[in-house]
A and B are shown apart, each in its own frame.
Chain A
């Protein structure tokens, strides 16, 4: 059974760096074709695709956020980490991580999400 869980701070001050961790089980990020992505959703708004890392360490980023995002993986810990620099109140959102199964690049399984509020 595949599960994913997001963790990180619930409150961040503007200009700080946000670090979120996705801890997963039920699959390995060393399996060919597998990926883990991050998606966010501001309160009452639409989903926004942020970043995705593949089994081979290939990475994709949203063009509009590329300069602020870094996605990394720790295969031994079954974790994927997303860092976002220079945080702003508009980055207040629920952040989800999700599994992309081998050979497919949509998200078939999602974590429950973690709400991050940016405020001074």
Chain B
């Protein structure tokens, strides 16, 4: 089974900060990685797919990069609406998907 490990678990930041979240896969997943944002009481919302493709309607301050086993989600300038929990997910047609354990972005 492919395991996904996110770091950090919690991140304290201020409005305007550049924020980076890392996701590591236990084996190579090429670029089959998605990022989601989840706010309390809401379903997750897709931000990034195929490691770096921005989902339609998602602000351009969100970006993703990486391939193989190491990936990053970057928020270029943190906005008040961005305080939430972020999850990475590996996916492929041939086996089950796996989520990371989440990174909570808090107000500093």
Known: A52-B97, A60-B96, A106-B34. Contact between A47 and B44, CB under 8 A? yes
A104 and B96 form a contact (CB under 8 A): no
Closest CB in chain B relative to A6 CB, distance in Å = 10
A104 and B1 form a contact (CB under 8 A): no
**Nearest A residue (CB) for B102:** A46
CB of A32 within 8 Å of the partner chain: no
Among A75-120, those with CB < 8 Å from B are: 96, 98, 104-113
Contacts of A51 in B (CB 8 A): 96
Main secondary structure of the interface of B (DSSP, over half): loop
CB of B68 within 8 Å of the partner chain: no
CB of B98 within 8 Å of the partner chain: yes
Distance of A14 Cα from B100 Cα, bound (Å): 28
B98 and A46 form a contact (CB under 8 A): no
Contacts of A37 in B (CB 8 A): 97
CB of B60 within 8 Å of the partner chain: no
**Residue ranges of B at the interface with A (Cβ–Cβ < 8 Å):** 1, 32, 34, 36, 38, 42-46, 49-50, 55, 87, 89, 91-93, 95-102
Instruction: Give the contacting residue for A47; candidates B42, B45, B87; CB below 8 A.
Output: B87
Known: A108-B55, A110-B44, A112-B43. Contact between A48 and B99, CB under 8 A? yes
Contacts of B46 in A (CB 8 A): 106-109
A63 and B99 form a contact (CB under 8 A): no
Distance of A113 Cα from B43 Cα, bound (Å): 7
A49 and B93 form a contact (CB under 8 A): no
Most central of B45, B93, B98, B99 by chain A CB within 10 Å: B93
Say which size band chain A's interface belongs to.
20 to 34
Instruction: Give the contacting residue for B89; candidates A106, A111, A112; CB below 8 A.
Output: A106
Contacts of A52 in B (CB 8 A): 96-97
CB of A62 within 8 Å of the partner chain: yes
Known: A52-B97, A113-B43. Contact between A105 and B91, CB under 8 A? yes
A49 and B98 form a contact (CB under 8 A): yes
A96 and B43 form a contact (CB under 8 A): yes
